[in-house]
Chains A and B, each alone.
Chain A
Amino acid sequence: AQTVTQSQPEMSVQEAETVTLSCTYDTSESDYYLFWYKQPPSRQMILVIRQEAYKQQNATENRFSVNFQKAAKSFSLKISDSQLGDAAMYFCAYRDNYGGSQGNLIFGKGTKLSVKP
């Protein structure tokens, strides 16, 4: 069964600095998607970025980028120029890219990111 591991329960970053959140996963599949979701305190979980496993190029979304290492099964999130609004729980998630499981997401336990002014 697929698993997702986030080894950092909490992280802290100074405003305007860069922080990297770690995520590793285990799967025997070769075709899948990976996601980072952000859940601010008492607010909705929103998609930050997603990566298709068949793409070698790392996904980027403005200040957010990933380092996708398929062989190592690693999918880290880098946040550049951190802002106070980046403070949230960040969840890494995996999804098979075939219809059998209806594309169900498997989540890690999350990393709580604090941003210091």
Chain B
Amino acid sequence: ETGVTQTPRHLVMGMTNKKSLKCEQHLGHNAMYWYKQSAKKPLELMFVYNFKEQTENNSVPSRFSPECPNSSHLFLHLHTLQPEDSALYLCASSQLTGGQTDTQYFGPGTRLTVL
């Protein structure tokens, strides 16, 4: 256990559904991240939040909508996804101090399948 939890662990959804992924960190960190992990590809950074403010959006399609209500919680809202969006979605957190971020700790991921 790394102190970062994600729910659900598995999700199957149709292309017209709306669902949300949840991440919670119990480490007191102030930065949170969403990554996409697809087979045979490097982890892709999607979004970064520092102190609840979004600081990075790596050209992610608008069908992915992040939300960070506080430093401990991060959501990824999904709507009208495509089959190619099927992947493992990983959440991570780290501590931002003086403009520098420390080691990132990862959650177990949500295995998403889009039919």
Query: Which A positions have Cβ atoms within 8 angstroms of B?
Result: 4, 35, 37, 43-47, 50, 91, 95, 97-99, 101-110
| 7 A-B pairs closest in CB distance | A103-B101, A99-B99, A45-B106, A107-B43, A107-B42, A44-B108, A109-B42
Contacts of A37 in B (CB 8 A): 106
* Complex interface: chain A residues within 8 A of B107 (CB): 44
Pair A103/B43 contact, Cβ less than 8 Å: no
Q: Could you list which residues of chain B lie within 8 angstroms of chain A, going by C-beta atoms? A: 1-2, 4, 31, 40-43, 45, 48, 50, 55-56, 90, 94, 96, 99-101, 103-109
Taking a contact as CB atoms under 8 Å apart, the answer to whether A105 and B41 are in contact is no
A95 to B92, CA, bound (A): 15
A-B contact count (CB 8 A): 51
* B105 CB contacts on chain A under 8 angstroms: 47
B40 touches A104 (CB 8 A): no
A103/B42 in contact, CB under 8 A: no
Chain B residues, CB < 8 A from A108: 42
Contacts beyond the supplied A43-B108, A44-B106, A109-B41: 7 A-B pairs with Cβ under 8 Å: A98-B99, A98-B100, A99-B100, A102-B31, A102-B48, A102-B96, A109-B40
* CB-based contact A104/B108 at 8 Å: no
If the complex has contacts A97-B100, A109-B42, are A104 and B56 also in contact, measured as CB distance less than 8 A?
yes
User: Which single member of A4, A45, A103 contacts B90 (CB below 8 Å)?
Assistant: A45
